[in-house]
Amino acid sequence: SSVEQSYIMIKPDGVQRGLVGEIISRFENKGFLLKGLKLFQCPKDLAQEHYKDLKDKPFFPKLIEYITSGPVVCMAWEGDGVVASARKLIGATNPLQAEPGTIRGDLAVQTGRNVVHGSDSPDNGKREVTLWFKEGELCQWESVQTPWLIE
């Protein structure tokens, strides 16, 4: 699909803290289209590939340990402007700096436990959806809500 997609992932702390429904609802309620969804135990090599741009950062080993420490919820969300909009819904990387009303602003306190990931560009959205979902794991469907969301 050529429509913009964002890879959104509820991190292991979000799953452990019982925030899966709450976080999915933020994106559902906004009006984006859910194209893929799974609970998944991430292997180390996939986590390293996903975060490869950060491999030289001092926190990289702890980041990989955290992301692989329990199941994550992988999602592909679609819609015009979904990447930038999802970043706004998620809020700043450091939850103490994230605005109230954002997921991190409402639900987290520390950068190393910031409950959710969102792609930072449309190109990375495509890259990450392809990285985390296999062929056949995404659904092609139309929501009955679409005419009530997009004129």
CB of 126 to Mg ion, least distance (A): 15
Closest CA to 9 of 19, 1, 92: 19
50 is catalytic: no
Does 85 interact with ligand DAT (rule: CB under 6 A)?
A: no
- Closer of 26 and 117 to ligand DAT (Cβ): 117
Q: Residue 138 is encoded by which pair of tokens?
A: 């995404």
Does 63 interact with ligand DAT (rule: CB under 6 A)?
A: yes
Distance CA 49, CA 79 (A): 25
User: In the window 39-58, what residues touch Mg ion (CB under 5 A)?
Assistant: none
Which residue in the list 5, 117, 129, 133 is annotated as catalytic?
117
Query: Which stretch, 32-40, 43-51, 94-102, 119-127, contacts Mg ion (CB under 5 A)?
Result: 119-127
Closest CA to 115 of 17, 39, 30, 7: 17
Distance CA 77, CA 27 (A): 8
DSSP single-letter state for residue 99: P
DSSP single-letter state for residue 71: -
Closest CA to 131 of 3, 7, 4: 7
CB of 145 to Mg ion, least distance (A): 29
Does 59 interact with ligand DAT (rule: CB under 6 A)?
A: yes
Q: Using CB under 6 A, pick the residue from 99, 112, 121, 123 that binds ligand DAT.
A: 112
What is the size of the binding site for ligand DAT (CB under 6 A)? Answer: 9
Distance CA 32, CA 125 (A): 14
Catalytic residues: 117
Annotation: binding site for ATP = 11, 59, 87, 93, 104, 114
